[in-house]
Structure 1
């Protein structure tokens, strides 16, 4: 996401190298580049005008610290204004989910058909059921969650929610196409109260476009069940249309927040910069993949860092904390420290840990630009594919072969390659890379950080998922 915008802004910053001060003369060309970058990213024109004006006002006359060039100084100004336009001016807790009410806390999901409401309902339920939702720097305790669909116009939507609920561990309240939405909603609320559910998520009907009947129905439902959160789900791929639809829903409903879906497929990212500004409502969550773990809390400051190529290390650490087996990580660290041999069984365990962290595209986007490039200039999808191939090779080995790689001669290599469905050359390549990694581990044990870093230089062949291996242990 944001690839085009990030590249254009980077070029804009480079135009100011060598200047000692940010002035109207030397920022004019840069501001033109920023304006074009935002327009190409499909940011709405009113937002572009206001953003550029604020950057200009903040930048002019800014002294450049001795350790910075004007381009770097301008990054600070742009970062501040990007944070504000995406909701940073609303306060640190604006993007948090409000569950402080007498149970059940009711969340109403609104949006057009195809925006991803039902999938997002499942993703949100998963965060609450597993206790993986992090707010104010701490995990929210696991919740007992009930989900219900009042979309009686599309029976497939009801069945989809039933399936998704089963996959994420939430309970499903049954509904049918011959029922009225109001009756389903009231029955679900009553059931949630009687059975002590902490959260009830209501998935509503969508339409292919905004129409009066849909707005009246969802307004009726809102008044009937009085949700504490009313989230508008909108497809980032719609660009300017996303902003217009969000505005229409915001006028019809007292929205508390916006969920921007399919952001992983939008290289422009304009909707993320426009929706909050146009609606006045905070972005609370973003969809980062089709998988059920592909929903993240939206943090304006962190997203601004991503747009500027700074990465989002805080979110990356949080993702690791949610998914990594700490006991296994400590076990490996202890093994390396005491000098025990690092073998292919350990390597396989670490690859599985990396897989648990989620979608590789999402992980790579959180790295600062220079590190993401060093990890390998390939797409996250290709990284996941290579990760699976590598794991397939390792799984084709016996435990003894993984513990004693020296046993792997020609005959065994041919058997392993056939079992993994890859050429023998790939098995040889993996073993060579593993030998380099063993050398790195020895340097780590000896405390030779400089030698270890040089050893890591030989691991450039591990582009994809293996690049995350070294980072994981830090």
Structure 2
């Protein structure tokens, strides 16, 4: 979502980095370009004016102009301004769960903003926290809205309120509240109806439901791709409902990101979650510091580690690490790595979280590294026999033609895959020559040697997942597929490859 803004800001700071000392003219020019970048990203004009005024005031100080690395100071000032704009340097705003259950969470927003999907994602998040969750659809207008929520509830491991045809939304809210109390639910999530535009009937119905349910949380779900319309929608809902927070959906889209930067400043409400994919688990907590870091091209190491801890099968990771320590790496293991990458969000999702990747986007594009490429590679491996996957040397011309036909690819793609596998296998054999110490450390980090992987990661942060400062270069220690020359390792199930190794280079 922030790619265009990141590109512009990175260009501004790169031009400053070559200068030993900054003059006030340099700072004015840099701030002018930052202003244009924010306006092009669809950030509200009043928010941009306040941001630039504060940044100029801080940047004009003698400490910046005389600094040994003044460009870094300007980056820091911009980072601080973005953090402040997005909610301040505080812990992410979590859900306010009532001490006297059930906690009622009311979902509001326009039709098509992603309310129902977000309700399912939120239910999964709470179920993973060992909460007993009930979902109830109050959308009596959209066809199959209630059935959709019931399916999402089943996927999340939660319960859904039985559908009673012809019942009005306020009556459904009363029935849901009664059921949640009688059956001992911890959380009740109410999914309200939306419209394509703001209207009085929708607002009145939502206000009546809020009066009946007295929600602990009233979350406005807004589509990030709607730009400044999302800001206007937030202001209108805030005037009629006791909103407690915002959820921005489609944060993985190619929108300009202005809504995220404007909504917090305009409404004063915290952004609590970001919808990062269509999958049921595609909901991330919103952290102003981490989002600001991503906007400035610094990646989000904490999110990367959270995904690794959540999605990587530690038992399989340990088993693979032991095999790699012996220099073993067959095509089945390569397929496992491709599968793990897909589970963790795919190539684009992972690269967006890695520090420095923004600067090598051109090389990544030239190397043709994409989701489709990995899907084709997985299809090629699936078309092989077990013996061929274990011993790639068996693959002579006739076998390659059979596999190419089965996978729907050219023989040249099979040759390229085999070359990549051979390079990776050689690299792993080289790494195993230290007696497997590197792989042993990796297995320990991912769950071996006593405490589980999550416990080890939480130990770094004093009982919670560590900050990006505490993690340091942990991304390089996570097992991965390697990547383009100079890029950080991609997390998978194997091991971090040496810097400069490029398994994706075309034959």
* TM-score, L = length of structure 2: 0.83
CA contact (8 A) 2:106 2:218 kept: yes
The CA distance in 1 between the partners of 2:126 and 2:368, in whole Å, is: 28
In the alignment, does 2:466 pair up with 1:468? no
Which residue of 413, 418, 428 corresponds with 1:441?
Answer: 428
Name the counterpart of 1:396.
383
Return 10-19 or 204-213, whichever deviates more. 10-19
CA distance in 2, matches of 1:380, 1:444: 25
Provide closer, same or farther for how the CA distance between residues 410 and 15 of structure 1 changes in structure 2, counting only shifts above 3 A. closer
Structure 1 match to 2:119:
121
**Residue 351 of structure 1, CA deviation:** 1.8
**1:63 aligned to 2:51?**
no
Q: Given the alignment of the two structures, is residue 101 of structure 1 paired with residue 99 of structure 2, yes or no? A: yes
Contact in 1 for aligned 2:324/2:494 (Cα 8 Å): no
Residue 429, structure 1, aligned to residue 428, structure 2: no
Question: Paired residue for 1:203?
Answer: 191
Once the two structures are TM-superposed, the CA of residue 469 in structure 1 deviates from its matched residue by 5.5
Superposed displacement of residue 176, structure 1: 4.3
Match for residue 178 of structure 1 among 166, 172, 183: 166
Name 2:91's counterpart in structure 1: 92
Q: Which structure 2 residues correspond to residues 14-413 of structure 1 after superposition, within 5 A?
A: 14-63=14-63, 69-89=69-89, 91-93=90-92, 95-129=93-127, 131=128, 141-176=129-164, 178-337=166-325, 339-370=326-357, 373=360, 377-378=364-365, 383-413=370-400
Aligned equivalents of 2:369, 2:126: Cα separation in 1? 31
Q: Answer with 410-419 or 8-17: which moved more.
A: 8-17
**8 Å contact from structure 1 (residues 376, 460) kept in 2:** no
Distance change >3 Å, CA 376–CA 200, structure 1 → 2: farther
User: How far apart are the structure 2 equivalents of 1:21 and 1:273?
Assistant: 31
Q: Is the 8 A contact 2:21 2:66 kept in 1?
A: no
Tell me the residue number matched to 2:456: none
Q: 1:381 to 1:225 in 2, by over 3 A?
A: farther
Aligned CA distance change for structure 1 residues 323 and 183 (closer, same or farther; 3 Å): same
Contact 1:116 1:233 in 2 (8 A): yes
Q: 1:416 aligns with which of 403, 420, 425?
A: 403
Deviations 1:224-244 (A, max 9, x none): 111111100011111111101
Any idea what SS the aligned residue of 1:368 has?
coil
Cα distance in 2 for residues equivalent to 1:97 and 1:323: 23
Q: What is the alpha-carbon distance in structure 1 between the residues aligned to residue 130 and residue 142 of structure 2?
A: 31
Provide closer, same or farther for how the CA distance between residues 371 and 310 of structure 1 changes in structure 2, counting only shifts above 3 A: same
Structure 1 residues 326 and 197: alpha-carbon distance in aligned structure 2, compared to 1, 3 A threshold: same
**Structure 1's 48 and 375: CA in aligned 2 closer, same or farther, altered over 3 A?**
closer
Distance 2:11 2:335 in 1: 41
Say whether the 8 Å CA contact 2:173–2:213 is kept in structure 1.
yes
Report the equivalent of 1:136. none
TM-score (ref. length: structure 1):
0.89
Query: 2: distance between equivalents of 1:369 and 1:118?
Result: 35
Query: Following the alignment from structure 1 to structure 2, what is the Cα–Cα distance between the partners of residues 371 and 2?
Result: 11
8 Å contact kept, 1:154–1:177: no
Q: Helix, strand or coil for the counterpart of 1:328?
A: helix
TM-superposed CA distance for 1:406, in Å, is 1.3
SS in 1 for 2:490: helix
Aligned mates of 1:69, 1:459 — CA distance in 2? 32
- For 1:262 and 1:238, how far apart are their aligned partners in 2? 10
**RMSD of aligned C-alpha atoms?**
2.9
Structure 2: tracts of 5 or more residues without a match: 437-475, 497-507
Q: Structure 1 stretch 50-59 or stretch 8-17: which is displaced more?
A: 8-17
CA distance in structure 2 between the aligned counterparts of 1:198 and 1:30, rounded to whole angstroms: 51
